[in-house]
Amino acid sequence: AFDVLVVGGGPAGAAAAIYAARKGIRTGVVAERFGGQVLDTMGIENFISVKETEGPKLAVALEQHVKEYDVDVMNLQRATALVPGQSDIEIRLESGASVRAKTVVLATGARWRQMNVPGENEYRNKGVAYCPHCDGPLFKGKRVAVIGGGNSGVEAAIDLAGIVSHVTLLEFDTKLRADAVLQRKLFSLPNVKVITQAQTTEVTGDGAKVNGLRYTDRSTGASHHIELEGIFVQIGLLPNTDWLKGSVALSPRGEIEVDAHGRTSVPGVFAAGDATTVPYKQIVIAMGEGSKAALSAFDHLIRTSAP
């Protein structure tokens, strides 16, 4: 059995694996796709101390750094269940195999909910963005839309309004769902327009980048086109935790509940990164949390293992 088994090979999982391996304990990583969301990212400008990098480059660096250590990486393996036992924890894999460990670090990340309209995938990273903290500055002085009138959409619109020239916020419903205080702030901004009952139907572009979006006004059925350079989709971040339902405590949003040490509701099981309740889903945060979870797992091992 492993001393520490990390599930997930994104920034959180890679950091956890390195921190665990550096304690000289048996460390394994099970990952569906080593690299995680970083693989789908282009420019990264907020990975502190690295002025600028690209997702695929960072993903390779993560893997190389992990491989500097004696870590058993099981890539292209999907975990389907976590079963706590008497003396260890079992992680069942889709392949039918299972892996046992004294402690587990869950770092299965999350995925942005997509609009699923024509053009969205084609123009991803070419004007279609999901993270205002990451990509907001790329649209300095340009026109953007934010899709979604919940807290994250309205926060994104307020944030972006300070950077870009104009923000159009589109909400599907008849009214915004964000907290009143955020809505007040939003409506006080001169360069924001809110359109409700708007169903986005298409992302348009010139072949190389986004040049607008098409939406249907649900009250009249009329179709409209807005010219702009960027679209921030803020209709939800879905944690990859379906497989943990019933075994580990999850928040109403499906995030793994963790305390300040990265401990979950199950003794010996820790969690880190975008899959958890820790706010602000960012690479540096995921790495910090992954390191913390591995140190907590080590702490747990030295307190519970026979001398």
Give the residues lining the site for ligand FAD (CB under 6 A): 7-13, 30-34, 36-38, 40-41, 44, 46, 78-79, 107-110, 112, 130-131, 134, 240, 243, 273-275, 281-284, 286
**Which CB atom, from 93 or from 195, has the smaller least distance to ligand FAD?**
93
Question: Smallest gap, in angstroms, from Cβ of residue 113 to ligand FAD?
Answer: 11
Question: Smallest gap, in angstroms, from Cβ of residue 192 to ligand FAD?
Answer: 23
Q: Which residues of 102-123 are buried (b: 16+ CB within 10 A; e: fewer)?
A: bbbbbbbbbebeebebebbeeb
> Number of helices (H) and strands (E), helices first, in the chain?
6, 19
Give the burial class of 247: count Cβ atoms within 10 A of its Cβ; 0-12 exposed, 13-18 middle, 19 or more buried. middle
**Which CB atom, from 41 or from 152, has the smaller least distance to ligand FAD?**
41
Question: Smallest gap, in angstroms, from Cβ of residue 94 to ligand FAD?
Answer: 8
Question: Smallest gap, in angstroms, from Cβ of residue 285 to ligand FAD?
Answer: 7
User: Could you tell me if 36 and 287 are in contact, meaning their C-beta atoms sit under 8 angstroms apart?
Assistant: no
**Which CB atom, from 176 or from 287, has the smaller least distance to ligand FAD?**
287
Question: Smallest gap, in angstroms, from Cβ of residue 67 to ligand FAD?
Answer: 15
Question: Smallest gap, in angstroms, from Cβ of residue 111 to ligand FAD?
Answer: 7
d(C-alpha 69, C-alpha 15), whole Å: 12
**Which CB atom, from 168 or from 241, has the smaller least distance to ligand FAD?**
241
**Which CB atom, from 152 or from 183, has the smaller least distance to ligand FAD?**
152
User: Could you tell me if 66 and 18 are in contact, meaning their C-beta atoms sit under 8 angstroms apart?
Assistant: yes
User: 40, 109, 90, 76: which is closest to 272 by C-alpha?
Assistant: 109
**Which CB atom, from 89 or from 176, has the smaller least distance to ligand FAD?**
89
**Which CB atom, from 186 or from 256, has the smaller least distance to ligand FAD?**
256
Residue 192: strand pairing partners:
167
Which position's Cβ is nearest ligand FAD? 109
What is the separation, in whole angstroms, between the first and last Cα of the chain?
Answer: 17
Residue 239 CA, distance from chain mean position: 7
Q: Decide the pairing of beta strands 27-31 and 71-75.
A: parallel
Question: Smallest gap, in angstroms, from Cβ of residue 88 to ligand FAD?
Answer: 18
